[in-house]
Amino acid sequence: MISTEKTTSASNALSINPPKRLLYGPGPTQVHPRVYEAMAKPIVGHLDPYFFEVSQGVQRMLRDVFGTKNELTLPISATGSGGMETAVSNFVEAGTKVGVLAAGFFADRITEMAKRHGGTIVRLEKPWGEAFDLNEAAEWIRRERPQVVAYVQAETSTGVFTEGKAICSAAHDVDAIVIADCVTSLGAMPVTVDETGIDVAYSCTQKGLSCPPGLSPVTISPRAMDRLKKREQPNRSWYFDLSMIADYLTQSHRYHHTASATMFYALHEGLSLIEEEGLQNRLQRHRRAHEQFVRGIEALGLKMLVAPEHRIWNLNTPCVPDGVDDAKVRAHLLQPYGIEISGGFGPLAGKIFRVGIMGPLATEEGVNHFLTCFGDALRAAGYGR
Amino acid sequence: MISTEKTTSASNALSINPPKRLLYGPGPTQVHPRVYEAMAKPIVGHLDPYFFEVSQGVQRMLRDVFGTKNELTLPISATGSGGMETAVSNFVEAGTKVGVLAAGFFADRITEMAKRHGGTIVRLEKPWGEAFDLNEAAEWIRRERPQVVAYVQAETSTGVFTEGKAICSAAHDVDAIVIADCVTSLGAMPVTVDETGIDVAYSCTQKGLSCPPGLSPVTISPRAMDRLKKREQPNRSWYFDLSMIADYLTQSHRYHHTASATMFYALHEGLSLIEEEGLQNRLQRHRRAHEQFVRGIEALGLKMLVAPEHRIWNLNTPCVPDGVDDAKVRAHLLQPYGIEISGGFGPLAGKIFRVGIMGPLATEEGVNHFLTCFGDALRAAGYGR
């Protein structure tokens, strides 16, 4: 093996020297040390047998966390919003009637993408932070008869989790396929694609899977595959065209794009960590951390935005107390504590905090540490005085 | 700082254990060790002040390697083909007349994307491996009067470099903007966006920049920005919509997607290595390695596909000698030598090898090592017997 180090007159000083952060935001979240170790491993080519071995492992483990037997389950070479565009662009073409259950920022993003891909949109709307009445949603779907129904399983802008069985059942009654945004839930809450009846789900790597951003896992049901084959026009996006991506990663291994070995290594490692812990153990760890978080928040005298039965476990949205400037609280968390969280936006700007308790931080110690610093930051911003 | 290691009952066995490879293919190519080191650094959020500091550095250094003063110069969160779709989707809308100079696989890909985004396509075609007659190309552009002209500066499928000044000049005469595919050239050959007159250029990270795949640097001229503002319909792709991406990475820092700190760290480090070496030194190093490669190939009795004045320095396409099975040669390089190269495809399948001599391998030692192993592999496949 020849040396590859002496080609430049470079000093050995690395240009990257990030500050220490604890990522308690909605994502990206704390990356497990083993994932960093995997990313430092030398890359192989995007058509190398070892790359396809890693890719196969990723696909198998993704099926487990998605809760699906769908053969077509793989990562898209883009971030979570690229997964959203994959879902929308492959199943919406000019004239497709799309029903969107809209109660947050990411449902609005789906709407916007569906319009750009030629869809005719109908929306059932709720104020941000409210959950859908599932009977109402099912009736609306049966009345509107869209060809595609889209909902957000875990709405990151509000903290609401939507249990989708009634939605999927109504959608299937009118022969619609169902797209579910699982960006925030995958790896931290039960996503249960098959049991719920979801046809197309997409997610990201930087939340429940504890990896850096860079890939977007998707899964596609046989029903949706049939629909895809019946498209009249090609996908407007070449990059997100599932038929070609599937051919590259699962069938002929024919070149489509140059997938990143590094990002696949990271995802493989993140999924292996879940497998070693056991998916159910991991989900229950997130549930316990969530319950501990809520108890601590309520002990501080704050309220949660979302009703208990509709809360996302790994993305908590406590309300900003009256008279407190949420930006001051966030600034005090960042300095001195190096803790990143997010605020609300849109109609919830200044009204909520968005706190991710996931991956390596979803432990009793992780929650305690956050609550201690958060209490201090609240007081620094004038709370309780 | 709290511990993030003891959340799982995981063993410490990494799931990733890649074979040793020397990447002498068209890309991905050998990654510099300092880039791996950068990627192992802890991530920060996609809206963290440190992320924008890294992003600013990346933008500044990208301007240098592109040879441009274009303010809008940044990485897209996708691989090189995502950069291609960014270029096409932002500047081609329904009814846009697009002139493509087509003499290889990637020109065909541009054609396909432009069709999907609604363009009306005209093509000037040459057989794969031939260079364009620039007078002919300029006349064709003046006659056809397209609104967008697209050409491939470094055609990875053939090894042909196209000097674009005459093309850009003719295009500007008819008020067209010029898209140039610089996926293979950036960081290894003079790309000279401003001097050439290119309006929209895109590239990748895994070739001349010596990083893993995952981002696609693009640069957009003020002329092209004006054109973008005059679009009648929104980009069909939301993910690749430049206005929103620019707003996120350069202006308001308003959230668009979750850019990967890890991939930005890698690119920042790869670009810093170029800056330390000096861009001109680096380009000349690639030129010298190319010349040494060609001398060695000819000493082995092989011919190069492309005429000397049209060759890409960092992507060489020697012809497969008569009677030799190129797959056997490649198999013998992979085992025992761990060397990856590529073959030809399409009309050049079985007719050429595609050998990348770039980044840390573009040294006298790197070329010698390759030539020794390649000579041996040729003999193992029956050459010279």
Rounded to 10 degrees, the C-alpha dihedral B364/B366/B372/B374 comes to -130
Q: What is the pLDDT of residue B198?
A: 98
Q: Which CATH architecture has domain A278-380?
A: Alpha-Beta Complex (3.90)
Q: What is the pLDDT of residue A8?
A: 46
Question: How far, in whole angstroms, is CA A270 from its chain's centroid?
Answer: 14
Instruction: Evaluate whether B344 touches B355 at the Cβ level (below 8 Å).
Output: no
A88-100 pLDDT, tens digit per residue, is 999 999 999 999 9
Compute CA distances B174 → A363, B144, B153, B177, whole Å.
64, 9, 21, 9
B100-134 pLDDT, tens digit per residue, is 999 999 999 999 999 999 999 999 999 999 999 99
A156-214 pLDDT, tens digit per residue, is 999 999 999 999 999 999 999 999 999 999 999 999 999 999 999 999 999 999 999 99
What is the pLDDT averaged over residues B26-31?
A: 95
pLDDT band at A45 (very low <50, low <70, confident <90, very high): very high
Whether the bond between A33 and the residue before it is cis, its omega within 30 degrees of 0, is no
Residue of B nearest to A10 (CA): B276
Q: What is the pLDDT of residue B164?
A: 97
pLDDT band at A44 (very low <50, low <70, confident <90, very high): very high
Q: So where are chain B's domains?
A: 34-274, 278-380
Q: What is the pLDDT of residue B251?
A: 85
Shortest distance, CA B194 to any CA of chain A (angstroms): 27
A81 contact residues in B (CB cutoff 8 A)? 238-239, 256-258
Q: What is the pLDDT of residue B69?
A: 98
Give the residue carrying structure tokens 């005429």. B307
Backbone angles phi, psi at B384, to 5 degrees: 85, 0
Q: Which CATH class is domain B34-274?
A: alpha beta
Whether B34-274 and B278-380 share one fold: the answer is: no
Look up residue B7 and give its two tokens: 């959340």
The answer, yes or no, to whether residue A3 has pLDDT greater than 70, is no
CA dist A103 and A126 (Å) reads 5
Q: What is the pLDDT of residue B6?
A: 47
Q: Count of CB atoms within 10 A of residue B330's CB?
A: 18
Contacts of A114 (CB under 8 A, 6+ apart): A88, A92, A96, A98, A100, A121, A148, A150
Backbone angles phi, psi at A268, to 5 degrees: -60, -40
B113 contact residues in A (CB cutoff 8 A)? 238
Secondary structure letter of residue A211 according to DSSP = S
CA dist B173 and B150 (Å) reads 15
Choose among A12, A30, A269: nearest Cβ to B4: A30
pLDDT-above-70 percentage for chain B? 97
B42-89 pLDDT, tens digit per residue, is 999 999 999 999 999 999 999 999 999 999 999 999 999 999 999 999
The answer, yes or no, to whether residue A10 has pLDDT greater than 60, is no
Q: Do A18 and B43 touch (CB under 8 A)?
A: yes
Q: Which amino acid is at A334?
A: L
Look up residue B94 and give its two tokens: 């329904």
B334-352 pLDDT, tens digit per residue, is 999 999 999 999 999 999 9
Chain A (17-46) residues lying within 8 Å, Cβ to Cβ, of chain B:
17-23, 25, 27-28, 30-34, 36-46
A219-240 pLDDT, tens digit per residue, is 999 999 999 999 999 999 999 9
Choose among A117, A213, A360: nearest Cβ to B236: A117
Is the Cβ of B80 closer than 8 Å to some Cβ of chain A?
A: yes
CA dist B294 and B290 (Å) reads 6
Q: Report chain B's mean pLDDT, rounded to a whole number.
A: 96
Q: What is the pLDDT of residue A2?
A: 57
Q: What is the pLDDT of residue B1?
A: 44
Look up residue A209 and give its two tokens: 């899977």
Q: Which amino acid is at B278?
A: G
Compute CA distances B343 → B296, B326, B354, whole Å.
19, 7, 6
Contacts of B261 (CB under 8 A, 6+ apart): A18, A28, A212, A213, B43, B44, B45, B46, B48, B51, B54
Strand order in the sheet with B148-152: B72-76, B216-220, B200-202, B177-181, B148-152, B97-102, B120-125
Report the CATH number of the A33-274 domain: 3.40.640.10
* Region of poorest pLDDT, from A4-8, B201-205, B267-271: A4-8
CA dist A219 and A86 (Å) reads 11
Is the Cβ of A184 closer than 8 Å to some Cβ of chain B?
A: no
pLDDT-above-70 percentage for chain A? 97
Residue of A nearest to B48 (CA): A340
A95-149 pLDDT, tens digit per residue, is 999 999 999 999 999 999 999 999 999 999 999 999 999 999 999 999 999 999 9
Residue of B nearest to A260 (CA): B213
